[in-house]
């Protein structure tokens, strides 16, 4: 604030003081009845008002003269041409003057607090940013603050803003739309049913594209290429790709398993890059089970929408036969094979490993299973002791160091039940291997940290044991699977399907039937999966930490100092999920001295995979997990609550069930 303005304030205060003194004097001299009292008060007030008005007008004139002297006599014309306005304010951020631009546009905020007029100005005043944009009466202004003075510069950038907006909205976006299971569905249907499917489902996609003013071209019976711009794409995002729900509902009404997988590539003028991104995105959406959209802007991470239904199994066995033949060729062209599992190997991982080992031995190739590094679950450890004599005769179990000694340039490394190096029990092997093959049933991660030459990732399968069981009939000779090996595989299916209650399709029962024929014993499986008393006691103690949240969600932050195994917290989550009206369970506990883990389970209404992926975890729609080094139970709990809330907002989720509190 200027010195003259400060002087003005002091003068006004002085005059008011004099007025009070005079009034007191007349009061004691003449009393209230004196007619001179109001006349004197009015005279003094009028004098003060006249003086203040004169000083204020003089100050404004002086301020304008100062600006003109600095910028020249043509300053007003320059300001008008550039559509630039100037606003001054005092130390309380009250507006003291506004230039002619605002007068011409009938904007008068003199005497008002600037941050009340434009709340974003707080960012300028606090130094959070140097420039802000805001809209005032339909015009877009760019505002800057002069650092060494209490002045704000306003520049009307409405035209530039509209051009920028038009440019951004006109950028090209490429998309692919695939009808999942379309070919498998119509393969054995009658013509009348095929025509109905095309009318109710495929034509719905065509009409959706036409209504959104997108260019759509059919590439195959079940695949379309679409061309759109960023403006249309934003509309699709705002409505969260409602076509997914429309197609799913139409399929359910017709009792067919057809869903949509879509991919959108954007953010580049290079169409070859968009095309490359597009194909990998569609493959990623399908590998994650379909019924979802995979989106990527060039230079950014992949984002997903949808995934609201469990991955559908494929009816055709052609894919299985092709995969079996491709894997066989890779084995035959390799000098030896190393089989890797994930850290803390479970029944499914070990069952897949031993069965794959037997397949490799069929082709007279040296093979080893890396299991002595990375740890195995306690129940599996008991099973390995039970079958120790048989398994040690038929398989070679090694540590990572021993496996490294067997790694050659033409060694084939097969990852089972996982597809990322971060959770592998042989990450050093993967860093040095030239040939990597993957067999996994988990939904594919957006970015692989390995480069496999063979990737058999089937999210519709219940387990890796199921997938390898399907490969057995397509080998050149019958694969010798022992009853102990078949029992381990069946135990893996039991656990991953929660005893055939989740992620179970017709192929799952076919695989279980085949394993039963190979000697798998369900009674032995049931005995191996029983809890020991200490585990039972510990699992029961977890239940006291249950916390009820909205929409049927149960959080279980285990705040004791006890270290719990991953299998134990997952079993506790499964047990809590059996309670009526519980939709999802998240058990949070320390799984070692430095690592905190979350085991998430759902009955299918809530996609726990999406929630865990937002926290850099992963898994399936109904079963997912997370491990965080140097994490705490309380810290993960608060982060999880925030992510769950965000998930419900994004999905527009509403559950009518309400657990009594």
Residue 151 CA, chain-centre distance (Å), reads 43
pLDDT at 1 over 70: no
The mean per-residue pLDDT over the stretch 76-96 comes to 80
- The confidence score (pLDDT) of residue 661 equals 37
Kindly state whether residues 288 and 339 are assigned to the same domain.
Answer: no
Mean pLDDT of the chain: 84
**pLDDT of 313-346, one tens digit each?**
554 577 788 889 999 999 999 999 999 999 989 9
Edge-to-edge strand order for the sheet containing 553-557?
547-548, 553-557, 584-590, 595-602, 623-629, 618-619
Burial of 364 (0-12, 13-18, 19+ CB in 10 A): exposed
Do 361 and 455 belong together in one domain? yes
Closest CA to 571 of 596, 597, 540, 615: 540
Tokens representing residue 586 in the block = 């998240």
**Are residues 151 and 287 both part of a single domain?**
no
**Around Cβ 71, how many Cβ atoms within 10 Å?**
12
Which helix (H) or strand (E) is 429 found in, with range?
A: helix 427-432
What lies within 8 Å, CB to CB, of 200 at 6+ separation is 250, 253, 254
Last residue of a domain, one of 165, 184, 204: 165
Same domain, 379 and 463: yes
Question: How far out from the chain centre does Cα 601 lie?
Answer: 18
Confidence of residue 64 (pLDDT cuts 50, 70, 90): very low
Q: 494 with 358, same domain?
A: yes
**Which band of pLDDT confidence, cut at 50, 70 and 90, is reported for residue 256?**
confident
167 pLDDT above the threshold of 60: yes
Confidence at 45, pLDDT banded by 50, 70, 90: low
The residues with which 602 forms a beta bridge, in sequence order, are: 584
Mark whether 324 and 383 lie in a shared domain: yes
Q: What is the CATH number of the domain that holds 501?
A: 3.90.1640.10
Integer-rounded Cα radius of gyration of the chain: 36
Find out whether 154 and 89 touch, Cβ atoms under 8 Å.
no
My answer on whether 568 and 491 are in the same domain is: no
Angle of CA points 589, 595, 601, to nearest 5°: 45
135, 255: one domain: no
Residues 365 and 417 in one domain: yes
Residue that terminates a domain, selected from 46, 71, 96: 71
255 — alpha (psi -120 to 50), left (phi > 0) or beta? left
pLDDT of residue 300: 85
pLDDT in tens, 515-532: 999 999 999 999 998 888
The answer to whether position 581 is within a domain reads yes
Residue 226 bridge partners (DSSP): 175, 216
Beta strands 412-416; 435-440: pairing state: parallel
Confidence class of residue 80 from pLDDT cuts 50, 70 and 90? Answer: low
* 196 φ, ψ (degrees, to nearest 5): -70, -40
pLDDT band at 468 (very low <50, low <70, confident <90, very high): very high
Which range is least confidently modeled, 172-186, 506-520, 605-619? 605-619
Residue that finishes a domain, picked among 279, 306, 333: 306
Q: Rounded to whole angstroms, how far apart are CA atoms 648 and 643? A: 9
Q: Is residue 299 part of a domain?
A: yes
Distance separating alpha carbons of residues 336 and 315, to the nearest angstrom: 33
Q: What is the pLDDT of residue 47?
A: 66
Tokens in use for 352?
């897949």
Could you tell me the CATH number of the domain that includes residue 636?
A: 3.10.310.30
559 Cβ contact partners less than 8 Å away, ≥ 6 residues apart: 545, 633, 634
Mean pLDDT lowest among 181-185, 427-431, 511-515: 181-185
CATH number at residue 113: 3.30.450.20
Largest CA distance in the chain: 127
With 0-12 / 13-18 / 19 or more C-beta atoms within 10 angstroms meaning exposed / middle / buried, residue 333 is exposed
In a domain, 312, yes or no: no
Among 623, 602, 613, smallest CA distance to 646 is for 613
Identify the sign of the CA torsion 635, 636, 638, 643: positive
322 in the same domain as 428: yes
Where helices occur in 72-170 by DSSP H, the ranges are: 75-82, 100-104, 114-117, 121-125, 158-169
Residue 659 lies in a domain: no
Say if CB 285 and CB 263 are below 8 A apart. yes
Do 432 and 564 reside in the same domain of the chain?
no
Residue carrying the six token digits 């359910």: 252
Q: Give the total number of structural domains in the chain.
A: 5
Residue 33 placed within a domain: yes
Q: What is the CATH number of the domain that holds 216?
A: 3.30.70.270
Per-residue confidence (pLDDT) for residue 39, from 0 to 100: 60
Place of tokens 């007003």: 76
pLDDT (tens digit per residue) in 475-486: 989 999 999 999
Average pLDDT (179-195) is: 85
Q: What is the pLDDT of residue 660?
A: 39
Task: Say if CB 585 and CB 564 are below 8 A apart.
Answer: no
The answer to whether the predicted template modeling score (pTM) of the entire model surpasses 0.75 is no
CA distance 423 to 459: 18
Say if CB 105 and CB 84 are below 8 A apart. Answer: no
Q: Residue 156 in 3-state DSSP?
A: strand
- What is the per-residue pLDDT across 199-211, written as a single tens digit (0 to 9) for each? 999 899 999 999 9
Q: What is the DSSP letter of 456?
A: E
Q: Is the pLDDT of residue 2 over 50?
A: no
352-356, 445-449, 506-510, 559-563: least confidently modelled range: 445-449
Domain membership flag for residue 378: yes
Distance, CA of 249 to CA of 400 (rounded, Å):
49
Q: Evaluate whether residue 383 is within a structural domain.
A: yes
The verdict on 382 and 507 lying in the same domain is yes
26-40, 84-98, 104-118, 600-614: the lowest-pLDDT one:
26-40
pLDDT of residue 149: 79
- Please give the residue range of the domain that contains residue 19: 3-71
Q: Where are the beta strands (DSSP E) in 574-632?
A: 584-590, 595-602, 618-619, 623-629
Q: pLDDT by residue (tens digit) across 100-143?
A: 788 888 888 888 888 889 888 888 888 777 888 888 888 889 88
Q: Does 440 or 619 have the greater pLDDT score? A: 440
Pairwise CA distance, residues 491 & 485, whole Å: 10
Residue 656 domain-assigned (yes or no): no
């Amino acid at each position: 604030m200027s010195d003259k303005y400060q002087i003005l304030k002091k003068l006004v205060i002085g005059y008011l003081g004099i007025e009070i003194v005079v009034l007191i004097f007349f009061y004691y001299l003449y009393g209230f009845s004196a007619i001179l009292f109001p006349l004197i008060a009015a005279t003094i007030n009028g004098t003060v008002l006249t003086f203040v008005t004169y000083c204020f007008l003089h100050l404004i004139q002086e301020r304008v003269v100062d600006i003109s002297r600095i910028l020249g006599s043509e300053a007003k014309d320059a300001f008008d041409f550039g559509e630039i306005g100037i606003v001054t304010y005092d130390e309380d951020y009250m507006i003291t003057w506004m230039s002619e631009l605002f007068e011409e546009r009938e904007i008068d905020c003199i005497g008002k607090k600037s941050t009340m007029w434009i709340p974003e100005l707080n960012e300028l005043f606090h130094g959070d940013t140097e420039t802000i944009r805001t809209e005032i009466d339909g015009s877009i202004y760019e505002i800057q603050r002069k650092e060494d003075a209490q002045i704000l510069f306003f520049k009307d950038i409405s035209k530039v803003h509209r051009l920028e907006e038009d440019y951004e909205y006109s950028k090209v976006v490429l998309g692919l739309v695939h009808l999942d299971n379309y070919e498998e569905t119509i393969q054995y249907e009658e013509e009348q049913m095929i025509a109905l499917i095309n009318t109710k489902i495929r034509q719905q996609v065509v009409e959706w594209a036409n209504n959104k003013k997108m260019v759509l071209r059919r590439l195959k019976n079940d695949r379309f290429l679409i061309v759109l711009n960023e403006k249309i794409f934003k509309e699709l995002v705002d409505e969260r790709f409602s076509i997914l729900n429309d197609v799913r509902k139409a399929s359910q009404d017709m009792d067919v398993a057809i869903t949509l997988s879509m991919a959108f590539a954007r953010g580049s003028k290079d169409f070859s890059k968009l095309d490359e991104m597009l194909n990998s995105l569609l493959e990623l959406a399908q590998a994650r089970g379909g019924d979802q959209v995979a989106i990527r802007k060039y230079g950014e991470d992949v984002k997903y929408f949808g995934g609201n239904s469990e991955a559908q199994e494929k009816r055709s066995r052609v894919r299985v036969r092709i995969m079996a033949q491709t894997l066989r060729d890779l084995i035959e062209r390799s000098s030896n094979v190393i089989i890797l599992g994930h850290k803390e190997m479970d029944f499914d991982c070990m069952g897949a490993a031993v069965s794959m080992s037997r397949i490799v031995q069929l082709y007279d190739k040296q093979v080893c299973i890396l299991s002595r590094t990375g740890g195995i679950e306690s129940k599996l450890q008991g099973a390995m002791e039970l079958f120790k004599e048989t398994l040690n005769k038929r398989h070679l179990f090694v540590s990572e160091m021993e496996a490294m000694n067997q790694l050659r340039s033409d060694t084939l490394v097969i990852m089972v039940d996982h597809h990322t190096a971060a959770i592998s029990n042989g990450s050093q092997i993967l860093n040095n291997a030239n040939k990597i093959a993957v067999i996994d049933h988990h939904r594919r991660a957006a970015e692989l940290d390995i480069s496999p030459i063979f990737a058999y990732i089937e999210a519709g399968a219940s387990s890796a044991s199921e997938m390898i069981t399907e490969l057995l009939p397509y080998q050149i000779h019958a694969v010798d699977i022992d009853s102990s090996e078949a029992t381990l595989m069946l135990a893996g299916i039991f656990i991953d399907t929660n005893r055939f209650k989740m992620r179970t399709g017709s192929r799952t029962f076919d695989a279980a039937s085949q394993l039963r024929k190979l000697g798998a014993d369900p009674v032995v499986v049931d005995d191996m999966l029983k809890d020991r008393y200490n585990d039972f006691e510990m699992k029961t103690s977890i239940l006291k930490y249950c916390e009820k949240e909205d929409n049927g969600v149960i959080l279980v932050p285990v705040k004791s100092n006890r270290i719990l195994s991953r299998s134990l917290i997952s079993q506790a989550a499964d047990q809590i999920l059996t309670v009526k009206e519980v939709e999802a369970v998240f058990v949070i506990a320390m799984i070692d001295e430095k690592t905190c883990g979350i085991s998430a389970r759902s009955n299918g209404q809530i996609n726990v995979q999406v929630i865990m992926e937002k926290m850099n975890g992963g898994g399936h729609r109904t079963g997912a997990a997370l491990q965080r080094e140097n994490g705490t139970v309380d810290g993960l709990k608060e982060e999880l609550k925030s992510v769950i809330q965000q998930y419900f907002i994004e999905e527009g989720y509403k559950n009518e069930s309400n657990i009594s509190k």
